[in-house]
Amino acid sequence: MDDTRPFVYATRGIPPDGRGANMLKESCNFLIWEGNSFMPRDEMLLAVRGAEGLLVHPPDRVDRELLDAAGPQLKVVGTMSAGLEHIDLEECARRGVQVGYTPGTVTDSVAEFNVALTLAVCRRIKEGIDAVIHGGWGRWDNALYLSGIEIKESVIGIAGFGRIGFATAKRLKAFEPSKILYWDVGPLEYAKEIGAEFASFEELLNNSDILIVCVSLTDGTRGLFNVEAFKKMKPSVIFINTSRGAVVNQDDLYTALTTGQILAAGLDVTTPEPLPRDSPLLSLPNCTISPHMASASEITRNAMAELTARNIIAGLKGEKMPAPVCVEIVKSCSPQLEITRL
């Protein structure tokens, strides 16, 4: 072990031959959890002992317990995410531990995935694939068998119009919706570029044919999409969530999907993750669930890893990070919307 270099521990793998990994290998005594699943908490608490830097991913909790386990020499935490709900930012600040994150790196890949998941749910692709696999291809109950809905002439609603929400709307505009509505802290100047219209939360729920959730998880958004919200939606609405699982009450979503309150849903995020295989949501033909893969493109994951590496190396040197988290700014932001704003 090279004791002259700072010890940095990663709780999950990063692209092994990418620039981010190479930067950390060159600058640090860099060790990575080599398991192919989430790192067990008890093993994590042992592995981080003596680390000066930590590289983490959601949902790995960086809390008082983990910080105590690492020790007082810990200088920096770099999270390979734009979301910060897994990190106790105030406790890190109290201990003088810098925190860096990766805002902006995921915008394009998540926006593309939002379009893909929207199309998959609207056009019932999951049900079509199941029909091929299970012998239903030859059925023709009527001319509307497996018929879906088109984005053209629909009303698209986006909850949270930060980087990802805006990028998603720009892409969906090419499908010629009748209107794009967005809910945010208020009307936003850049929304005018694509003709998007500000709406209150209730107006968004009442009028959207396709509702896409692009908010961060905060105290104000936790459980935001619950029974009361689903009751206000059209029974024909397509509900898409790629933000954080905890913004949706999943029991209420199941009820909404099975009682006709809403038509269908697409989820890339759930609570917990991974979703248990016996989750009732997995039994529904009108609920498409993917394994939190919206940012999973080679370009994006390498960019996230490189920015995280730069954050960690800067923090170890006592220099300003490329993408630091400012606790006071986070605390002062609206409790209901994204903290990473344009």
**Which of the residues are catalytic?**
292
> Per the structure block, which two tokens stand in for 198?
């500000």
Gap between the Cα atoms of 117 and 181, Å rounded: 19
Is residue 178 within 8 A of residue 125, CB to CB? The reply is: no
> Per the structure block, which two tokens stand in for 100?
């860096």
Degrees to nearest 5, angle at CA 210 with 231 and 157: 90
Single-letter amino acid code for the residue at 270: T
> Where in the chain does DSSP place strands (E)?
7-10, 29-32, 53-56, 76-79, 98-100, 155-159, 179-183, 197-198, 210-213, 238-241, 264-267, 287-289
19-27 vs 298-317: helix crossing angle, rounded to 10: 20
Gap between the Cα atoms of 114 and 128, Å rounded: 20
Gap between the Cα atoms of 56 and 11, Å rounded: 5
Single-letter amino acid code for the residue at 90: E
Q: Which residues contact 201 (CB under 8 A, 6 or more apart)?
A: 159, 183
Gap between the Cα atoms of 162 and 74, Å rounded: 32
Provide the CB-side half-sphere exposure for 162 (13 A, CA). Answer: 22
Gap between the Cα atoms of 249 and 239, Å rounded: 13
Gap between the Cα atoms of 85 and 77, Å rounded: 14
